[in-house]
Amino acid sequence: MAHPRTTQTIDDEASLRALLGEPAAVVCSKVASRIIGATRPFIERAPFVLLATSDREGRCDVSPRGDPPGFVQILDERTLLVPERPGNRLADSLRNIVANPHVGLLFVVPGVSDTFRVNGRATLTTDATLLAPCTVEGKAPRLGILVDVEEAYTQCAKAFLRSELWNPSRFLTRDAFPSNGEIHRELAEGDFDAERYDRERAERYARREGFY
């Protein structure tokens, strides 16, 4: 497909393989169709997971999910349950799943540079019995995402090592960036009370309002 910035593009897998070469046999062999004993800890100890979805037209979205470590339930070696907590109600991921069940998960454990990937098919559930073990702060989720595992494998650490993601000397603080209120103000071309928005948002977060 032509791109307005360049004519030097790759448009087929044969050209891609000519550039990259073939993966090693040991890399291909790590892709499993289930969760095994050695990979369970990446899910059981992860407090954070990225959820990738797409709609019927292939428009993609990635959104974060986070909770106490092990919040994603391993129901069996081929089935996971991701609790859905209160959000902004845009429901991008959920609307995508209704339209297209294919999803990808990337599990991240703080301080660990290897991550764990799961690809599969998702189903939204309101089953109170399934969701009860996901209770946090006395509140069970009203909705969950069942994921039938099709592929499960570790992702190598190179991206985390190159980026020095877990290097504390590279950490930044939120005040190094425009606040959410300032972003809204720019989008509204100045007609927005950024200070009030940021103050009220911080107060809600301090009360953990809407967390569960």
Per-residue pLDDT of the chain (212 residues; tens, 9 = 90+): 689 999 999 999 999 999 999 999 999 999 999 999 999 999 999 999 999 999 999 999 999 999 999 999 999 999 999 999 999 999 999 999 999 999 999 999 999 999 999 999 999 999 999 999 999 999 999 999 999 999 999 999 999 999 999 999 999 999 999 999 999 999 999 999 999 999 999 999 999 999 99
Do the domain assignments include residue 69? yes
Q: What is d(CA 147, CA 122) in angstroms, rounded to the nearest whole number?
A: 4
Write the CATH number for 42.
Answer: 2.30.110.10
The Cα 147–Cα 119 span in angstroms is 8
Within this chain, do residues 70 and 117 fall inside the same structural domain, yes or no? yes
DSSP output for 146-178: EEEEEEEEEE-SHHHHHHTTT-GGG---GGGS-
What phi, psi does 129 have (nearest 5°)? -65, -45
Beta carbons of 49 and 65 less than 8 angstroms apart: yes
Element (H, E) at 101: none
Domain of 67 in residue numbering reads as 32-163
111 and 182 fall within a common domain: no
Closest CA to 41 of 152, 195, 179, 202: 152
Predicted confidence at residue 2, as pLDDT, reads 82
Q: Are residues 198 and 141 in the same domain?
A: no
The number of domains in the chain is 2
Co-location of 79 and 179 in the same domain: no
- Whether the Cβ atoms of residue 123 and residue 102 lie closer than 8 Å to each other: no
